[in-house]
């Protein structure tokens, strides 16, 4: 039977993990290769108990990577180079241990270091006993990895090869994994594929002296979620992030900054962009002077006055500049007269849309900022107002990215 070369010129790295389902990886290699892909394989130590490097190298026609530190092998290449060279990484079978290692960012073996270093999309095909799959720890890892931008296919319902138990946990069949690989390539070549989108995220820290700074409660979760979903939709994403306790999203060019002035410089350097989404909670003021030594308490003085100066308004500057992206989106954090303030900001700053959220503290004293959920209203400069129900920040990101995709679809329709 003639098979269409749907994966021709694609460079795929297959990580075969330790599971009885590893035998199916042999067929997966054949299926990928007959569609035109170049397949190189990392065979983990645990996987070597199930399949041999010799069988893999015969099927791939390539050197098989088995060990992080085998410098003696002339064909071994640096894990960073390998991580950068590939178009997609497929992990099949992906064991519960691999999921746990990935969720924690362990680079303790060759596969782990490549997964940490890559910017390529990663598709995992889990395989494990149903009880292990349903364990809260595994489900927690899946949720974390999905947030990190990892894609999954399966597992399926069925009987397990090793224990005869039935349930969810069986690795998808090679042909379904191939279909997932093909559709992921199509998805990533979606409407945003040729778009460069700039996102700012997190707070800024404005130093006062070597130990103190001004900041706010922004966690960066919303901005990072937007960058992650944009990258998953195929966009080329630059994320300018203030100090946050979050990992850099997979497949995103992340630039770390501390202050509003640094954020402005990084944003300007990242232009041109097709769209810019200003999610960061930029500090409005900074101390006029940064003391080189720690400011000491003066005895008997209960008060201190600080001289502050306004920071540049990055959104407003970019929206009014000659290099303005086609679509400029702002966020507005408000605690009173929420919609009125947001509308005024939308026009004053020159954005196309503004996403407004009420960040007042709840009656119990807890705050909205920093949480995993958000409730927003989207206002556009043509006076369209849309209130979204309370949602997970990733779901908000997905809805927003859909709106951005529709915007560019409409624009390309107008040009035709
Ligand atoms: N913003 C910016 N640069 C600043 C301040 C804000 O780019 N120096 C952007 C934010 O990223 C956000 C929007 O402007 O997209 C609104 O931010 P917000 O903090 O709600 O408004 P402010 O301009 O700070 O106004 P105010 O503090 O008076 O509410």
In the reported structure, the alpha carbon of residue 316 is separated from the centroid of ligand 1 by a whole-number distance in angstroms of 9
CA 270 to centroid of ligand 1, rounded, Å: 20
CA of 255 to the centre of ligand 1 (A): 20
3-state secondary structure string, 251-319? CCEEEECCCHHHHHHHHHHHCCCCEEEECCECCCEEECCCCCCCCCCCCCCCCCCCCEEECCCHHHHHH
Q: Is it the case that residue 338 has pLDDT exceeding 70?
A: yes
> Which is the closest atom of ligand 1 to the Cα of 318?
7
Three-state secondary structure string covering 73-85: CCCCCCHHHHHHH
At residue 43, the pLDDT reads 95
On the CB side of 38, CA atoms within 13 Å amount to: 9
Bridge partners of 197, per DSSP, are: 237, 275
Residue 413 has pLDDT above 80, yes or no: no
Q: What is the mean pLDDT of residues 268-277?
A: 98
Higher pLDDT, 402 or 364: 402
CA of 282 to the centre of ligand 1 (A): 6
Q: How far is it, in rounded angstroms, from Cα 238 to Cα 102?
A: 23
* Global confidence as pTM: 0.69
Catalytic residues: 163
pLDDT higher than 80, residue 238: yes
Which residues have C-beta atoms less than 6 Å from ligand 1? 200, 260, 278, 280-282, 284, 311, 313-315, 330-333, 345, 349
Closest ligand 1 atom to residue 284 Cα is: 8
- pLDDT of residue 64 exceeding 50, the answer is yes
Residue nearest to atom 3 of ligand 1 (CA): 313
User: Tens of pLDDT along 289-304?
Assistant: 999 999 988 877 778 8
- If one compares 368 and 76, the residue with the highest pLDDT of the two is 368
Q: Which two tokens stand for residue 274?
A: 């097709």
| Residue, of 259 and 301, whose pLDDT is higher | 259
Mean pLDDT of 54-79: 76
Top-confidence residue, 126 or 73? 126
Give kind and range of the element (H or E) at residue 3.
none
Does the pLDDT of residue 364 top 80, yes or no? no
**Which atom of ligand 1 is closest in space to residue 332's alpha carbon?**
20
Check residue 248 and report its DSSP letter: P
DSSP, residue by residue, 133-174: HHSHHHHHHHHHHHHTT-EE--PEEEE-TTT--EEEEEPPPH
For residue 393, the SS3 value is: helix
Nearest alpha carbon, ligand 1 atom 21: 332
């Amino acid at each position: 039977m003639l098979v269409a070369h749907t994966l021709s010129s694609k460079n795929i790295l297959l990580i075969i993990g330790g599971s009885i389902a590893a035998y199916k990886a042999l067929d997966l290699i054949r299926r990928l290769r007959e569609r035109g892909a170049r397949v190189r394989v990392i065979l983990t130590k645990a996987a070597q108990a199930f399949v041999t490097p010799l069988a893999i190298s015969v099927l791939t026609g390539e050197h098989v990577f088995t060990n992080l530190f085998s410098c003696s092998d002339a064909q071994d290449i640096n894990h960073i180079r390998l991580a950068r060279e590939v178009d997609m990484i497929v992990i099949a079978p992906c064991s519960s241990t691999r999921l746990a290692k990935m969720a924690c960012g362990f680079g303790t073996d060759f596969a782990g270091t490549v997964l940490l270093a890559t910017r390529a999309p990663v598709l995992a095909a889990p395989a494990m006993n149903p009880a292990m799959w349903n364990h809260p720890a595994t489900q927690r890892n899946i949720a974390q990895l999905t947030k990190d931008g990892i894609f999954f296919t399966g597992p399926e319902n069925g009987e397990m090869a090793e224990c005869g138990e039935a349930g969810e946990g069986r690795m998808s069949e090679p042909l379904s994994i191939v279909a997932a690989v093909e559709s992921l390539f199509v998805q990533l070549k979606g409407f945003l594929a040729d778009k460069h989108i700039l996102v700012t995220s997190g707070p800024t820290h404005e130093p006062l002296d070597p130990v103190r700074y001004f900041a706010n409660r922004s966690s960066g979760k919303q901005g990072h979620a937007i960058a992650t979903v944009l990258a998953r939709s195929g966009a080329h994403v630059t994320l300018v992030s203030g100090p946050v306790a979050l990992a850099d999203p997979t497949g995103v060019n992340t630039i770390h900054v501390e202050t509003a002035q640094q954020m402005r410089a990084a944003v300007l350097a990242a232009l041109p962009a097709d769209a810019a989404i200003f999610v960061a909670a930029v500090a409005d003021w900074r101390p006029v002077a940064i003391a080189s030594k720690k400011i000491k308490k003066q005895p008997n003085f209960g008060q201190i006055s600080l001289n502050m100066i306004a920071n540049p308004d990055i959104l407003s500057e970019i929206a009014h500049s000659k290099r303005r992206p086609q679509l400029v989106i702002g966020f507005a954090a408000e605690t009173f007269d929420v919609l009125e303030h947001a509308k005024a900001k939308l026009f004053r700053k020159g954005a196309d849309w503004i996403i407004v959220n009420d960040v007042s503290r709840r009656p119990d004293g807890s705050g909205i900022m920093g949480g995993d959920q958000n409730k927003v209203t989207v206002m556009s400069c043509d006076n369209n107002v849309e209130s979204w129900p309370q949602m997970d920040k990733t779901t908000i990101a997905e809805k927003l990215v859909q709106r951005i995709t529709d915007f560019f679809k409409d624009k390309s329709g107008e040009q035709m």
